[in-house]
Structure 1
Amino acid sequence: MEDRRLRSSFGAAATAYAEHRPDYAPAAVRWALESAPGPRVLDLGAGTGKLSATLVELGADVVAVEPDPAMLTELRRALPAVRALPGSAESIPLPDASLDAVLAGNALHWFDMTVAGEEIARILAPGGILAGLWNVMDDRIDWVSALERVSGSAAIGPRDTLSSWRAATADLLVASTGLDGRFGASEQVEFPHGQRRTADSLVATLATRAGMLVMAEEERDAALGRIRAFLRTRPETAQGEFTLPMLTGVLRVQRR
């Protein structure tokens, strides 16, 4: 029930999500797709189209599927040329063997892979790629590590930092990779990335995390106030724009 509440929280912040969430490192997306048998790519759980935009820039033939109407509206507004459909990972409105790759940006952990794994296997052509991508903060950097401690897990969770994303995501494909041997072994790789932020826009970014969105307003305001106060005390973040050090992590498997 709590997972469902978190998963369904983003629509209320769709506009802020579109404005503040980062895109994905092009090198990471290229690596995810490098063994795909063709250009037909599904952005599954596409949100407001952050990953779809990178795929379009790389020349992929993109279709997007997103369950939340508000998020889907933002995606269609930002990327009117992309075919964007209502649907979910557990019920994908596309024909059998019609895709060369299925990518999910900061979304794979919300899927019920016992059901979604079957659906993804159904729509992928032989040799097709399934990959999850996550933008994670580089907590090897001192101030980022300190920010994580101040923010708490509602704002910066186990899939949101370099030190923990591999362990937090490694088992997400267990159900799909066990489907009658239809997928090969999984691979995990990280690629350097970054996002230009100010203290205020980083606070706004963290406010779009699911754990923050489901908080009571008073509790959320207090948490965001602590984060804002911390950022204004750090020399790295107190004076105008800075680059938030990130990586895009990729978890990839290939259909046999």
Structure 2
Amino acid sequence: MRLGSAEELPLDDGSMDAVVFGQAWHWVEPGAASREAARVLRPGGVLGLIWNLRDEHVDWVARMTAVMHPSSAEAMFADDGPRVATPFGGLERSRFRWTRSMSRADLFAMVRSRSYIITAAPEERARIEAELSDLFDEIGALGDARIELPYVTEAFRATRP
């Protein structure tokens, strides 16, 4: 096993065809991580950045996020999305929409798994759960009923010169 970070990859120079970050680039320092990815990539190698985000173009999903507060990734996308640094140029972007069938229990489990919910004060967690309970009632997520939670996968690619 090798331990490392986006800013210090335990890989040889020019040894990789691709470096991919799934649900993670919003936690890195983009300048240092870009330089490090470029170091380990062969010329023409690809840096890939991928996120699965709730689709907030849907009213009830936007309301759910407002109750929960945006995650670090959601805040990054509200601020024009991910950034890479030299030697990479711009990012190519692809977007894919899909849904996940979820019960009320699934929705609450998803909410409770978020680090910003886990670390919230007990009073804040109680407020979030109460407001989401009302929202889930409104959208028909009752008992074992299933609803479709819309997502969008945001995928980005930058090629090493």
TM-score, scaled to structure 2: 0.84
Matched, 1:147 2:64: yes
Q: Does the residue aligned with 1:243 lie in a helix, a strand or coil?
A: strand
In the TM superposition, what are the counterparts of 1:108-147 in structure 2 within 5 Å?
Answer: 108-147=25-64
Higher-RCO chain (CA-CA 8 Å, sequence separation at least 6)? 2
Larger fraction in strand: 2
User: What is the match of residue 39 of structure 1?
Assistant: none
Q: Distance in 1 between matches of 2:53 and 2:47?
A: 19
In the TM superposition, what are the counterparts of 1:73-92 in structure 2 within 5 Å?
Answer: 85-92=2-9
Q: Does the residue aligned with 2:139 lie in a helix, a strand or coil?
A: coil
Distance 1:168 1:204, change over 3 A: farther
Mapped contact 2:22–2:51 kept (Cα < 8 A): yes
Q: Distance in 2 between matches of 1:114 and 1:158?
A: 18
Shift of residue 91 of structure 1? 1.4
Q: Does the residue aligned with 1:88 lie in a helix, a strand or coil?
A: coil
Runs of 5+ consecutive residues of structure 2 not aligned to the other structure: none
Shift of residue 166 of structure 1? 6.5
Matched, 1:196 2:101: yes
Q: What percentage of residue pairs aligned between the two structures are identical? A: 29
User: What is the match of residue 115 of structure 2?
Assistant: 210
Mapped contact 1:159–1:168 kept (Cα < 8 A): no
Equivalent AA in structure 2 for residue 187 of structure 1: E
User: What is the match of residue 145 of structure 2?
Assistant: 240
Matched, 1:225 2:130: yes
Q: Distance in 2 between matches of 1:128 and 1:224?
A: 44
Q: Distance in 1 between matches of 2:54 and 2:159?
A: 27
Q: Does the residue aligned with 1:169 lie in a helix, a strand or coil?
A: coil
User: What is the match of residue 89 of structure 2?
Assistant: 184
Q: Distance in 2 between matches of 1:160 and 1:198?
A: 23
Shift of residue 129 of structure 1? 0.9
Distance 1:160 1:86, change over 3 A: same
Q: Distance in 2 between matches of 1:224 and 1:86?
A: 37
Give the number of the structure whose alpha-carbon radius of gyration is greater. Answer: 2
In the TM superposition, what are the counterparts of 1:51-70 in structure 2 within 5 Å?
Answer: none
User: What is the match of residue 74 of structure 2?
Assistant: 160
Superposition RMSD on alpha carbons, in Å?
2.3
Q: Which stretches of structure 1, 4 residues or more, deviate above 4 A after TM superposition?
A: none
User: What is the match of residue 96 of structure 1?
Assistant: 13
Equivalent AA in structure 2 for residue 193 of structure 1: W
Mapped contact 1:109–1:169 kept (Cα < 8 A): no
Q: Distance in 1 between matches of 2:127 and 2:157?
A: 38
CA-to-partner distance for each residue in 1:76-111, whole Å, 9 max, x for gaps? xxxxxxxx6432111111111111111111110100
Matched, 1:107 2:107: no
Q: Does the residue aligned with 2:21 lie in a helix, a strand or coil?
A: strand
Runs of 5+ consecutive residues of structure 1 not aligned to the other structure: 1-83
Mapped contact 2:26–2:72 kept (Cα < 8 A): no
TM-score, scaled to structure 1: 0.56
User: What is the match of residue 250 of structure 1?
Assistant: 155
Larger fraction in helix: 1
Shift of residue 144 of structure 1? 1.6
Equivalent AA in structure 2 for residue 184 of structure 1: G
